[in-house]
Structure 1
Amino acid sequence: MSTNFIGKKSAAAGGWGALKSCGKRLMQSGSPLAGARTLLKANQPDGFDCPGCAWGDPEHGSSFEFCENGVKAVSWEATEKRATPAFFAAHTVSELRKQSDYELELNGRLTHPMRYDASSDRYLPVSWDEAFSEIGATLQGLGDPNRAEFYTSGRASNEAAYLYQLFVRLYGTNNFPDCSNMCHEASGVALRQAIGVGKGTVLLEDFEKADAIFVLGQNPGTNHPRMLGDLKRAAMRGARIAVFNPVREKGLERFSDPQDKVEMIRGGSKTIASHYYQPRLGGDMAAVRGMAKVVFAAEDAAIAAGKPSVLDHPFIAEHCHGFESYRAAVEATAWDEIEDQSGLSRAQIEEAAAIYMGAESVICTWAMGVTQHRHSVATIREITNFMLLRGNIGRPGAGLCPVRGHSNVQGDRTVGINEKPAPAFLDALEQEFGVPMPRANGHNVLAAIGAMLDGTAQAFIGLGGNFARATPDSALVEKALQGLKLTVHIATKPNHGHLMPGEKSFLLPCLGRTEMDVNASGASQLVSVEDSMSMVHGSGGINRPASPHLLSEVAIIAGIAQATLGSATVDWAALGQSNDRIRDLIERTIPGFEDYNKRLRKPRGFHLRNSAAHREWNTPAAKATFSSGPLPEETVHQEASKTGNRFALQTFRSHDQYNTTVYGLDDRYRGVYGERQVIFIHPDDLAALKAEAGDRVDVVGEHGDGVSRIAKNFRFVPYDIPRGSIAGYYPELNVLVPLGSAGEESDTPTSKSVMVSFRPRNVSAAAA
């Protein structure tokens, strides 16, 4: 590791730093020219969808629509490095566990199906037919389908996800733990309650029309950089952008667009945030309620002075339910409570509310800084309340915009990956296939881990992702996976989840998004994905597969399904060779996909109609519904502030990673280089601890459940973050996130509000 781990921060997001990073990643791929040619087809009508984030593509298109993280995602997948059978023969699983997440995935693409051999502690080659046969026999032998868990990553295509859910439901269970359970579950739950649909209501064009954009709990510069271009253009035409984020993030302050030639030549950049507020961890709900309190006061003052109303009364009267109860809840919330919980002053909140009231059309956008707390559902309901006050849902330039992570996490849910399936969807499946579907709710991520730990579950199949490193309580999850009869991972590269084998364990290598998928008859296949704006578009790989032994995700699922269930109900072999046939099934069983195959082949695809965007409310009251609950009794930040050595921790990504995939060890936006085991902390908190920058500590979980959780050997990095709040990278800090702490109604791990303390490193601790 570098001893000079603190260095110069980027002056702005993007710019020459982004281009240098792109060049570095392309060189590391082993074939920079081929990588550059591949990138020219990223997010193009005749190319492939970027395997990175779910930010929307512009309707008008672009000759070169990609970003720094897109380059990293593409070069990571298109690398010439290979993890062949010879690689696995040279390394035991125990040896591979010693590699970091970064080092392990640097070994390259998986090339052959592999089966774990316990006697040699190695993965050995296995034929596809043998793998399918053994997996099918094991699933058949479990006795109860509910003893198997079927995980899905947001990188899976619509076609793979639909076929997966069909196989699993015909097998007999709704056990679908998926990545949504760990990120935006609260968004889906809250929005369905409030507006009747669990998705955002805006299109990308709305960012061109908004007068104000509120950005809560997200870091686009790292997580979805193309969003910065839209925010920059909004700022340049005069829209005000109010950011609420505990951590000062460079991308939300200034942005230099690498695709703006003049800006790059001149070395310039543009301001993104017109106003930047730093609430305490978990304080967003209080901040939004405070703004609503200001709006109500302004309404009263306007009426008393005979001026136009601040609220949109016609909209509220026609389209909303529960307004009076909400107003009463706001009026009953004291300013002292709002200021203490939010960490913002009344003056700051009044300033932010003035931005809202001064804008004709407002967009509110958020991500996991909002969704990973105990009270996340209540917070998103509060955000929706706030937007309803002035009718900012269902008209141009206004609306709600949860920003998803992986490129198809939203699409997976649309096509049926849900442990709580809608009865209408199950009815449609039963009508199509003529057999009953399981009706009982299945397991989400936390329930699946619990079932594995107590022995209820005995099998795990992962469709992409890195379940072991994405989930909380890392040590318990490792124990859970290794106690199973069967673990199966459908993947492109080795990761740590593969090194926790059950009694039987298989690695099944699949095609990546950038690679051509040609079926047995020689036909090229398209897959489809849905972005955060509900646009569905096609994706066709252009590169030769990393190995002739790779199969598509669809073909792998069909092979397992055939071996498990046979072909009496479904011709799995035919579906495994034709994505068009799968899309025909989607069209017949899911509303909104009419003429799916035809519309998919149009440039930019098509939009799935959002009823709330048309002011049609599929709620019990048939109206948009205000919530009127109180603020949380106490946030983790408030609880931690009662003692001298306890802090509220949030985990987040470095700039050189995407979810659990670590591309490198630098975070140039935060000035950290060559190291990931760091804790960002306010300088005054550091002084109060009698510590200095660079001091090393163990971070100790303080959940109070008797479980020892320790993240060892982390460096302090002074940073602009509220006192009492600290931050650091996952997956390294996931060991501190307790399984027993989850969002109310969402059951999402509370990775943004973890109670911790510090233990100085000493000789004995350093040796541990």
Structure 2
Amino acid sequence: MTELVKKKVEGVGEYHSAAGGWGALRAVADAVRSQLAVVDETRGLLTMNQPAGFDCPGCAWPDPKHTSSFEFCENGAKAVSWEATAKRTTPEFFAEHTVSELWKWHDHDLENHGRLTHPVAYDAASDKFLPIAWEDAMARIGAGLRALPDPNMAEFYTSGRCSNEAAFLYQLFVREYGTNNFPDCSNMCHEATSVGLPKSIGIGKGTVTLEDFDHADAIFCIGHNPGTNHPRMLNTLRACSKRGAAIVSINPLRERGLERFISPQHPSEMLTGNATQLSSVYYQIKVGGDLAVLKGMMKAVVALDVESRAAGGPDVLDRAFIAEHTEGIDDLLADLQATSWETIEASAGITRAEIEHLGRIYANAKSVIINYGMGITQHRHGVANVQHIANLLLLRGNFGRPGAGISPLRGHSNVQGDRTVGITELPNDALLDGIKRVFGFDPPRAHGHDAVAAVKAIRDGRSKALIALGGNLAVAMPDPEVTYPAMRSLDLVVHIATKLNRSHLLLAKESIILPCLGRTEIDMQASGKQLVTVEDSMSMVHGSRGGLKPASEHLKSEAMIVADMAVATLPNTVVKWHDLVADYNKIRDAIEGVFPAFKDYNERIKKPGGFRLRNAASEREWLTTSGKAQFLVFPGVYEDGLDKHALTLTTLRSHDQYNTTIYGMDDRYRGITGRRDIVFVNPEDLASRGLSHGDVIDVVLDGKSGVQRAMRGFTAVEYDIPKGSVAAYYPEANVLVALEEHDARSGTPAYKSVPVKISAAA
């Protein structure tokens, strides 16, 4: 780094330690201490991800078969502390603060005030949320939804932290109401996976299990940051490194969680400070350069095959697998041939020799797993990125055998499960026919709204109501200059939540907040304490049973809230809602009736660790139209027409953050303390614009849509990031992501490929 990096900038430094270690343990202790409920939280942490305990409300990394004495990570502990806090947001709090005042609070402070304890409704005369009885709240909600001329004028959002049971009831209610408008958090993160992979391999999920990591010869990590977003993965990568597997990281930033790790579960490492080196190879590519790198790797593998065959050696391509299981190889080879190395190098940000090195590592490994995150999916070409990862794996038959497959890393703990049990705006006939078979009504067949389409419908006045089952939708969405005014134009908005957030303050004509139980808390219904289920990133379905006393006697479970809402809205409902909620076993029986893959659901969920849903692609059965896996072509390597002076910005999370929830103002591994108004910039890009480390700058959108957006008054930080690339925190940088800028096929907002220009602050 140059001397400019050493210039003192408040809150900007360097972090030299490994991921994990004592820094992680201190962070856990601080998180628990800051929420004031040390006894309950500590007891809760010891049962997290254990067979008889609750599932982590954070990420969807799977649980090992043999759990340790503690099976949680730093950010999982933060999530539990955040939920099990002793702090409360009571009616007295709302009586003291107007909404106009609360709007000026930082997002961290809104959530940090504590758990919601009572249902409240907005009163315009006082500009305050006032307590409301559950019965009155439901009556207002039911009346508001029935008043809409068309059910398609309502949007029903779902957070990925919702359980299978609550999600199933929610989609059932909404479809009996008459719409398939299901914007959900998957639309903003892994929709490119859900749309792209079925076309390639017949299923929109990953194909690997946790045990596959024990057999992989090479593990590629592309576009994700496990140290912050799924830290329990670090123990898996550590084990792979210890046994000699190649771990290859391809990412614009050097993330500490992909470099080296000290496991808090191994005393010898903690005492000696001897970290495990994770990545054996680490290439920093340009933001958005993934497609070019993937095509380059495939070109390299094909060239190795030609070279080996010419010398009388073995095939590098798995020709037997390709012939038996795939279609489209000739079109892919023609496209690779037509794509020049010059084009690939210009977009990738690394050299041909480096890409060929990656290709050799891949070709020399018998079994390969490719992990990827939102650095792959949140682009205008996210579907193409996903499909090219599948193409690369198909070339050497890396599906359906031990140690091989594709591994999309989901964020929220049950975002995959929610989709499995019906949260989708694009329902297939099997789902709809199953609902009709089990419940006796014919659900709507028309495609509904995803998240971007929902905001556009609200903006245009075509939708007038929003029910949000968890989450922080408006803040998570791109383009607050469009999204925020749209939300304020609604007739009815209902938020089901554990804590206050900014989306709750975007007021409709009728605004209601309903407090619900958290994952850590006892869910008591008529038949007794209830178990809920979730599905992790690797298709494992397992139970979760909270053990803590609820934060308030006025809380209801999400399932009960959905049932109450359905009864209040649908006077002629054919579903026995409260009978289902009295015993969640009955909900699981209904899920099994609609989805045969859940056969013997209630029995199999009793097994410690749960059970794996059948994954046809893992068995080399391809549920595509032709019954074969598809090599799919995407011409080119990146968007054309970017101004030569433009940079490409990616949004990212800090280490003290999970999605829109900000636990604190530090980003430990990147050396940032007490602030988030940061833009990470390559030193040469700063110098070429007459800027220096620590300068206050403006960042302006430079997209094709002609939309004018700017993020002003942020501090430029010289950082080890490829030339032409910049990074800033999400959701602050969402102002630069125009609503129109998204993947045309999946609707995923382009949070990680934003064309911008930077200059000294005006």
TM-score, length-scaled by structure 1: 0.97
Whether 2:628 is the aligned partner of 1:623: answer: yes
AA of the residue aligned to 1:717: V
Q: How far apart are 1:702 and its partner, in Å?
A: 2.1
1:595-618 alpha-carbon deviations (Å, 9 max, x no partner): 111111211011001000000001
The question of whether the paired residues in 1 share the 8 Å contact of 2:567 and 2:573 is answered with: no
**What is aligned with 1:726?**
726
Alignment equivalent of 2:557, drawn from 552, 559, 573: 552
The question of whether the paired residues in 2 share the 8 Å contact of 1:592 and 1:609 is answered with: yes
Q: How far apart are 1:31 and its partner, in Å?
A: 1.9
**What is aligned with 2:699?**
699
Whether 2:534 is the aligned partner of 1:562: answer: no
1:183-238 alpha-carbon deviations (Å, 9 max, x no partner): 00001111100000000000001011100001110000000000111111101111
Counterparts of 1:80 and 1:59, CA distance in 2: 33
Counterparts of 1:28 and 1:135, CA distance in 2: 36
Q: How far apart are 1:566 and its partner, in Å?
A: 2.8
**What is aligned with 1:118?**
124
Whether 2:147 is the aligned partner of 1:147: answer: no
Counterparts of 1:381 and 1:707, CA distance in 2: 30
Q: How far apart are 1:525 and its partner, in Å?
A: 0.4
AA of the residue aligned to 1:131: A
Counterparts of 1:119 and 1:708, CA distance in 2: 36
**1:565-644 correspondence runs (5 A):** 565-566=570-571, 568-632=573-637, 634=639, 639-640=642-643, 642-643=644-645
- Size of the aligned set, in residue pairs, is 755
The question of whether the paired residues in 2 share the 8 Å contact of 1:677 and 1:715 is answered with: yes
The question of whether the paired residues in 2 share the 8 Å contact of 1:186 and 1:748 is answered with: yes
Counterparts of 1:746 and 1:244, CA distance in 2: 23
Computed over aligned residues only, the root mean square deviation of the Cα atoms, in angstroms, reads 1.2
Counterparts of 2:573 and 2:266, CA distance in 1: 57
AA of the residue aligned to 1:492: T
The question of whether the paired residues in 1 share the 8 Å contact of 2:176 and 2:573 is answered with: no
**What is aligned with 1:445?**
451
The question of whether the paired residues in 1 share the 8 Å contact of 2:9 and 2:694 is answered with: no
**What is aligned with 1:321?**
327
**1:52-131 correspondence runs (5 A):** 52-131=58-137
Whether 2:535 is the aligned partner of 1:535: answer: no
SS at match of 2:248: strand
Runs of at least 5 residues in structure 1 that lack an aligned partner in the other structure? 763-768
**What is aligned with 1:766?**
none
**1:11-410 correspondence runs (5 A):** 11-410=17-416
Counterparts of 2:637 and 2:304, CA distance in 1: 25
Q: How far apart are 1:3 and its partner, in Å?
A: 6.9
Counterparts of 2:709 and 2:581, CA distance in 1: 44
Which piece of structure 1 moves more, 328-337 or 36-45? 328-337
Counterparts of 1:99 and 1:301, CA distance in 2: 63
1:151-191 alpha-carbon deviations (Å, 9 max, x no partner): 00000000010000000000000000000100000011111
AA of the residue aligned to 1:123: F
Q: How far apart are 1:466 and its partner, in Å?
A: 0.3
SS at match of 1:243: strand
SS at match of 1:315: helix
Whether 2:521 is the aligned partner of 1:515: answer: yes
SS at match of 1:538: strand
**What is aligned with 1:524?**
529
Tell me which stretches of 4 or more aligned residues in structure 1 moved more than 4 Å.
none
SS at match of 2:651: strand
SS at match of 1:733: helix
Runs of at least 5 residues in structure 2 that lack an aligned partner in the other structure? 1-7
AA of the residue aligned to 2:594: T
Q: How far apart are 1:704 and its partner, in Å?
A: 4.7
Whether 2:650 is the aligned partner of 1:650: answer: yes
Counterparts of 2:279 and 2:478, CA distance in 1: 33
TM-score, length-scaled by structure 2: 0.98
Whether 2:721 is the aligned partner of 1:760: answer: no
Whether 2:435 is the aligned partner of 1:429: answer: yes
Q: How far apart are 1:590 and its partner, in Å?
A: 0.6
Q: How far apart are 1:760 and its partner, in Å?
A: 2.2
Counterparts of 2:152 and 2:671, CA distance in 1: 47
AA of the residue aligned to 1:746: S
The question of whether the paired residues in 1 share the 8 Å contact of 2:120 and 2:514 is answered with: yes
Counterparts of 2:238 and 2:713, CA distance in 1: 39
Q: How far apart are 1:567 and its partner, in Å?
A: 5.6
**What is aligned with 2:3?**
none
The question of whether the paired residues in 1 share the 8 Å contact of 2:152 and 2:181 is answered with: yes
Alignment equivalent of 1:491, drawn from 484, 488, 497: 497
**What is aligned with 1:477?**
483
SS at match of 1:557: helix
Counterparts of 1:277 and 1:182, CA distance in 2: 26
Counterparts of 1:331 and 1:7, CA distance in 2: 46
AA of the residue aligned to 1:639: L
Q: How far apart are 1:568 and its partner, in Å?
A: 3.9
Counterparts of 1:16 and 1:440, CA distance in 2: 53
Counterparts of 1:343 and 1:674, CA distance in 2: 32
Cα distance change, pair 292–99 in 1 and its aligned pair in 2 (3 A)? same
Counterparts of 2:560 and 2:439, CA distance in 1: 20
Counterparts of 2:514 and 2:270, CA distance in 1: 44
Whether 2:468 is the aligned partner of 1:462: answer: yes
Counterparts of 2:414 and 2:577, CA distance in 1: 23
Cα distance change, pair 113–10 in 1 and its aligned pair in 2 (3 A)? farther
The question of whether the paired residues in 2 share the 8 Å contact of 1:557 and 1:576 is answered with: no
The question of whether the paired residues in 2 share the 8 Å contact of 1:375 and 1:632 is answered with: no
1:470-514 alpha-carbon deviations (Å, 9 max, x no partner): 000012111111100000000000000000010000000000000
SS at match of 1:336: helix
Q: How far apart are 1:659 and its partner, in Å?
A: 0.3
1:89-135 alpha-carbon deviations (Å, 9 max, x no partner): 10011100111111111110000000000111100000000000100
AA of the residue aligned to 2:741: S
The question of whether the paired residues in 2 share the 8 Å contact of 1:10 and 1:17 is answered with: no
The question of whether the paired residues in 2 share the 8 Å contact of 1:387 and 1:399 is answered with: yes
Q: How far apart are 1:323 and its partner, in Å?
A: 1.1
1:646-669 alpha-carbon deviations (Å, 9 max, x no partner): 211110100000000000001110
The question of whether the paired residues in 1 share the 8 Å contact of 2:169 and 2:562 is answered with: yes
SS at match of 1:123: strand
Q: How far apart are 1:319 and its partner, in Å?
A: 0.6
AA of the residue aligned to 1:683: P
AA of the residue aligned to 1:577: A
1:303-327 alpha-carbon deviations (Å, 9 max, x no partner): 1111111111111111111112111
Whether 2:670 is the aligned partner of 1:670: answer: yes
Q: How far apart are 1:694 and its partner, in Å?
A: 1.5
The question of whether the paired residues in 1 share the 8 Å contact of 2:585 and 2:602 is answered with: yes
**What is aligned with 1:750?**
750
Cα distance change, pair 76–10 in 1 and its aligned pair in 2 (3 A)? farther
Counterparts of 1:453 and 1:26, CA distance in 2: 41
**Percent identity between the aligned chains?**
55
Counterparts of 1:490 and 1:752, CA distance in 2: 29
